[in-house]
């Protein structure tokens, strides 16, 4: 089983577990965030955190943007196979994209209501394969617009100058291998955000002899 949960990306000068915008989170969620939820930070105060479950929602996304005064986005991950990205700017520009569209398409299709017999067998049928192919085509048709919106969101964050839309389109069409959450990070890199950096540990004073 892979990771299922939510990724949050925003600007904060402090670790996200200390940010007042997350004060309403349940205590066990905050403990998880403190223990292992935050990724390496990016220059400029950009931070990413992951929390199992669906504790981050789009209302929190609006609150994060208002609190930080900067663009932010959420990535809803399913079993490390799919990540549904939703972004917002302080000016109200929204964007969304689905990374891992083949798996996402399979999750979206359902047997017809009037299907005779056991509906489970439908999932191995040619009709199911055709329904998945149609859903993949729908996702794929959205990719150029999603890429343009993602670049506009990045521009509002002051990054992405010179990034070609084709590069973002290619990434949005990438199949996770093996983890969708890695593609979330790759997407932020491709949009021009500065790469994450390994934190430099504070120097421990050496006692005087």
In a domain, 70, yes or no: yes
3-state DSSP of the chain: CCCCEEEEEEECCCCHHHCHHHCCCCHHHHHHHHHHHECCCECCCEEEEEEECCCCCHHHHHHHHHHHCCCEEEEEEECCCEEEEEEECCCCCEEEEEECHHHHHHHHCCCCCCCCCCHHHHHHCHHHHHHHHHHHHHHHHHHHHHHHHHHHHHHHCCCCCCCCHHHHHHHHCCCCCCCHHHHHHHHHHHCCCCCCCCCCCCCCCCCCC
Sign of CA dihedral 187, 171, 144, 111: negative
| Structure tokens that stand for 117 in this block | 């017999």
| Residue 108, domain member (yes or no) | yes
Within-domain flag for 33? yes
Determine the structural domain holding residue 46 and report its residue range: 5-190
Over its C-alpha atoms, the chain yields an Rg (Å, rounded) of 20
Examine residue 56 and state whether it is found in any structural domain, yes or no.
yes
Is residue 69 in some structural domain?
yes
pLDDT given at position 203: 53
| Residue pair 42/158 in contact by the 8 Å Cβ criterion | no
Give the pLDDT confidence score for residue 174 in this predicted structure: 94
Which residues, other chains included, contact 190 with Cβ-Cβ below 8 Å and sequence gap of 6+? 163, 167, 168, 171
The predicted model scores a pTM of 0.87
Q: What is the arrangement of strands in the sheet containing 72-78, beginning at the earlier edge strand?
A: 46-52, 5-11, 72-78, 82-88, 94-99
∠203-41-18 over CA atoms, to 5°?
A: 85
Q: How far apart are CA 153 and CA 203, in angstroms?
A: 38
In this prediction, residue 200 carries a pLDDT of 59
- Looking at the structure of the chain, the number of domains it has is 1
Contacts of 78 (CB under 8 A, 6+ apart): 4, 84, 103, 107, 180
Is there a domain that residue 105 lies in? yes
Residue 208 lies in a domain: no
Does 204 reside within a domain?
A: no
pLDDT by residue for the chain (209 residues), tens digit each? 688 989 999 999 888 888 888 877 777 777 777 776 788 899 999 999 988 877 677 888 999 999 999 999 999 999 999 999 999 999 999 999 999 999 999 999 888 877 776 778 888 889 899 999 999 999 999 999 999 999 999 999 999 999 999 999 999 999 998 899 999 999 999 999 999 887 655 454 555 55
According to DSSP, the residues that pair with 38 across neighbouring strands are 49
């Amino acid at each position: 089983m892979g990771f299922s949960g939510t990724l949050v990306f925003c600007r904060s000068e402090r670790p996200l577990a200390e940010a007042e915008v997350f004060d309403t989170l349940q205590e066990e969620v905050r403990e998880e965030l403190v223990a292992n939820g935050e990724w390496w930070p990016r220059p400029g105060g950009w931070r990413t955190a992951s929390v199992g479950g669906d504790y981050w929602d789009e209302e929190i996304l609006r609150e994060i943007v208002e609190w930080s005064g900067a663009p932010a986005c959420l990535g809803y991950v399913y079993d490390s196979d799919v990540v549904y990205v939703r972004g917002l700017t302080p000016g109200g520009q929204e964007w969304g994209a689905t990374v891992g569209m083949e798996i996402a398409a399979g999750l979206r299709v359902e047997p017809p209501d009037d299907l005779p017999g056991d509906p489970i067998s439908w999932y191995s049928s040619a009709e199911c394969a055709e329904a998945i192919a149609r859903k993949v085509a729908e996702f794929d048709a959205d990719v150029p617009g999603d890429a343009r919106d993602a670049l506009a969101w990045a521009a509002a964050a002051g990054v992405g100058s010179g990034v070609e839309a084709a590069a973002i389109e290619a990434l949005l069409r990438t199949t996770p291998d093996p983890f969708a959450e890695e593609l979330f990070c790759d997407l932020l890199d491709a949009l021009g955000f500065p790469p994450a950096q390994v934190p430099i540990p504070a120097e421990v004073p050496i006692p005087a002899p």
